[in-house]
Copies of this chain bind each other. A is one copy, B any other.
Amino acid sequence: MGMKALEDRIRRDGIVKSDQVLKVDSFINHQMDAQLFQQMARRWKLDFAGAPINKIMTIEASGIGIAAVAGLVFGLPVVFAKKSQSINLDGSVYTTKIHSFTHERDYDVIVSKKYIGPDDHVLIVDDFLANGCAMTGLIELCEAAGATVEGIGVAIEKGFQPGGATLRERGYRLDSLAIVDAMDPVTGEIAFRKE
């Protein structure tokens, strides 16, 4: 079931740029409403109660704010995967490639072997799920580390793109707090999935 406070906020402050593009940069991915993030994280905490999660994981940049607040709510460490090698990191990293349709390029994405391993039971969180490229990359990093993906928390899933369906088919517990099934750029109307 969708999270009403998030759906209402998307209706109020989201901007439908086309039938594919929804802008939420006034409260999620440029300006951030940390109080809303806290509500989202509390919802994930309820939904994943009982799962032996010991780490939150995300990818830079726009997942970091949500993940940090989730780390606070869950009382758990957060790891964010980094795009491209930084000279401040050791060579000992897991690495994968992620395609960004938004930026029309591939990124190398890394996570230090120090911060994810076989003992980790991970909740992956991110702001958007569309084609699922970023999420698949994060899952690959967890698999490479021998970590267990306990669940995936997403703020906004674009239900008309294949990422969500694919992850559910693969058996992942995917908790999208708002699933957009269709958007009308003329009226600005947004259709959220009902359970």
A114 touches B65 (CB 8 A): no
Q: How many copies does the complex hold?
A: 2
A115 touches B31 (CB 8 A): yes
Complex interface residues of chain A between 120 and 155 (CB less than 8 A to chain B): none
Q: How far is the CA of A31 from the CA of B102 in the complex (A)?
A: 26
Q: Which residues of B contact A1 (CB under 8 A)?
A: none
B38 touches A88 (CB 8 A): no
Candidates B23, B89, B114; contact of A88 at CB < 8 Å: B23
A47 interfacial by beta-carbon distance below 8 Å: no
Q: How far is the CA of A21 from the CA of B23 in the complex (A)?
A: 38
A103 touches B87 (CB 8 A): yes
Q: A72-B37, A87-B102, A88-B23 are in contact. Are A78 and B65 (CB under 8 A)?
A: yes
A30 touches B80 (CB 8 A): yes
Q: How far is the CA of A103 from the CA of B85 in the complex (A)?
A: 10
Which of A30, A102, A103 has the largest count of B CB atoms less than 10 A from its CB? A30
Q: How far is the CA of A151 from the CA of B30 in the complex (A)?
A: 21
A86 interfacial by beta-carbon distance below 8 Å: yes
